[in-house]
């Protein structure tokens, strides 16, 4: 996933509702819709960034679609958008968000933006740690003079600096969202209480 618009697959058995979600998301994402679980499994591939998944559908349920996607190791964010009230079983589900119908356009767009931002952060963090590991190895194994003479090492340091700045910006964006700010406060409180 990149900073461009995320590719969203809407899986909803009510075609009018699925098409409404697609219309709402145009401009914020590249949405397409399918109308049952079987179509979802045929349509989903490595190019789907975010899946909006109805939980209760005739034929293959959203839960079954979700399990199959996770078994296939597809790397996409999943938000359940369903009329089923959440219960404690959601803790063990491989989902990133859970919206209870009816949802508003604002909720849907905010969810897509939040999931896309979290994916960008994950990608940036993975690249940062991979490069930091390489730098640490070179710092340990190569003399200072060789590192200073290396154009590859210079590019590595430059990319790490860019990634640090991008990560800082992404964290600021995440913290600007009320849900994430509250989550961070909760995590901080729990850490303090455990000490």
Phi and psi of 33, rounded to 5°? -130, 145
CATH label, 7-103, candidates 3.60.15.10, 3.90.1750.10, 3.40.50.2300, 1.20.1440.130: 3.40.50.2300
Tens of pLDDT, residues 83-95: 988 888 788 888 9
In a 3-state reduction of DSSP, which class is residue 174? helix
- pLDDT tens digits, residue range 42-101? 999 878 999 999 999 988 899 999 999 989 988 899 999 999 888 887 888 889 999 999
Structure tokens at 29: 């994402």
DSSP 96: S
Torsion of CA 111, 37, 23, 73, to 10 degrees: 50
- All structural domains of the chain with their residue ranges: 7-103, 112-194
- Exposed, middle or buried by CB within 10 Å (0-12, 13-18, 19+), for 104? exposed
Find the range with the poorest average confidence among 11-15, 26-30, 83-87.
83-87
pLDDT value at 189 more than 80? no
The H or E element containing residue 13 is: none
């Amino acid at each position: 996933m990149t900073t461009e618009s995320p590719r969203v697959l809407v899986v909803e058995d009510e075609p009018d509702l699925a098409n409404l979600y697609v219309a709402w998301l145009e401009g914020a994402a590249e949405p397409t819709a399918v109308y049952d679980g079987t179509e979802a499994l045929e349509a989903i591939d490595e190019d789907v960034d975010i899946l909006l998944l109805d939980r209760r559908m005739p034929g293959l349920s959203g839960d079954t679609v979700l399990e199959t996607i996770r078994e296939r190791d597809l790397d996409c964010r999943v938000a359940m958008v369903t009329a089923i009230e959440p219960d404690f079983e959601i803790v063990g589900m491989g989902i990133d968000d859970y919206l209870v119908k009816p949802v508003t356009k604002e909720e849907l767009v905010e969810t897509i933006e939040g999931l896309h931002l979290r994916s960008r952060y994950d990608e940036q963090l993975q690249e940062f740690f991979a490069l930091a590991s390489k730098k640490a190895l070179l710092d340990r194994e190569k003399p200072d003079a060789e590192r200073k003479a290396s154009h590859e090492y210079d590019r590595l340091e430059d990319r790490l600096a860019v990634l640090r700045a991008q990560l800082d910006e992404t964290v600021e964006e995440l913290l600007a969202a009320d849900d994430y700010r509250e989550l961070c406060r909760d995590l901080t409180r729990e850490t303090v209480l455990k000490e």
